[in-house]
Structure 1
């Protein structure tokens, strides 16, 4: 059940990120609406709660957990690049957006493979 919730919040999170980038590009005035500002934070809070719940339920902290640390580092990079993408304009926005999506893909691959070094 928790895994399904976590996967649902992942989809909602990436969808809201892509949607906010679209709005930042096409209709930036809409980003000022309260529900658009608060909604992603609520989604991401539940995403983190379900993620930590899965870590503790799976007892992944009692064994080799380098892949979890790698996901957390990539998550910080994803958030940072996402902020740059939403607040910037032009080429910088699209480079940050591409970087954030690359972080997202990396996090997904590590989550499935349980290996931090996906290229080895």
Structure 2
């Protein structure tokens, strides 16, 4: 059960990154692909499955936020990633879009580094 949950979670982490990068590139190329309903809905479905699988995985392993500070760091990082990502696609100023998008990618990398190192400092260590 553990391995299936872990692989499900990691698959949707990779899909989340992939669709975020592709949508960002389309944003900067002013592609009409961003207007397609599929690409407006897909990130929400992918990120929901990623989040739910992560929560189920943590519960399955008996993790508690207070005992695992790195898990809390991942959750806070995810909230920051969502805010930056939404901002990148909502603001209309091209420079702000690029800054928010790159910042979101850095936060995503931080979240992955926290998951790998099991340290709230992640790559900042």
Unaligned runs of 5+ in 2: none
Tell me the equivalent position of 1:81. Answer: 84
Tell me the equivalent position of 1:11. Answer: 14
**Can you list the C-alpha shifts for 1:23-52, whole angstroms capped at 9, x where unaligned?**
112134321211111111111111011100
Q: Number of matched residues? A: 120
**Residue 121 of structure 2: which of 111, 114, 117 is its match?**
117
Tell me the equivalent position of 1:21. Answer: 24
Aligned-pair CA distance for 1:62:
7.6
Per the normalisation by structure 2, the TM-score is 0.87
**Can you list the C-alpha shifts for 1:63-85, whole angstroms capped at 9, x where unaligned?**
72211111111111101111111
Per the normalisation by structure 1, the TM-score is 0.90
Tell me the equivalent position of 2:51. Answer: 48
1:62 to 1:34, Cα distance in 2 relative to 1, 3 A: closer
Aligned-pair CA distance for 1:20:
0.8
Q: Where does structure 1 differ by over 6 angstroms across 4 or more consecutive aligned residues?
A: none
**Is residue 60 from structure 1 mapped to residue 63 from structure 2 by the alignment?**
yes
Unaligned runs of 5+ in 1: none
**Whole-angstrom CA distance in 1 between matches of 2:65 and 2:52:** 19
Q: Give the root-mean-square deviation of aligned CA atoms.
A: 1.6
**Whole-angstrom CA distance in 2 between matches of 1:79 and 1:110:** 17
